[in-house]
Amino acid sequence: MSEPSEDQVKKALIKKAVGYEAKEEIKEFIIDENGKEILAKKRITKKHVSPDLAAMKLLLERYGLEFEKSLENMSDAELFEEKNRLLQLLEEERKNANRKMQTSDKV
């Protein structure tokens, strides 16, 4: 297995820092008279993983300075546009996550 890229590490750190929803699947099996395992119950639950302060701290320490420098050079109008862009991205990400969870629940 290869090492994760810087971008993959950053995305994982962001996910842990802001929290996320996870699917947890529990399967219970019984053994029939022939000794074969048969699925008796399958339960899928949604689990909320809370934001992690240590991940937030690491994220800010590692990437905060480069973000801060880019913000310093923006006008008020550019900052407002960037804020709206980020809010829209967060909303799209939330919708995509909900769609994925709903799709996986149907399977």
Domain spans of the chain?
Answer: 1-73, 74-107
Three-state SS letters, the chain: CCCCCHHHHHHHHHHHHHCEEEEEEEEEEEECCCCCEEEEEEEEEEEEECCCHHHHHHHHHHHHHHHHHHHHCCCHHHHHHHHHHHHHHHHHHHHHHHHHHHHHHHC
Confidence of residue 107 (pLDDT cuts 50, 70, 90): low
pLDDT digits 0-9 by tens, 40-77? 999 999 998 899 988 888 888 887 756 666 777 888 88
pLDDT digits 0-9 by tens, 73-96? 888 888 888 888 888 888 888 888
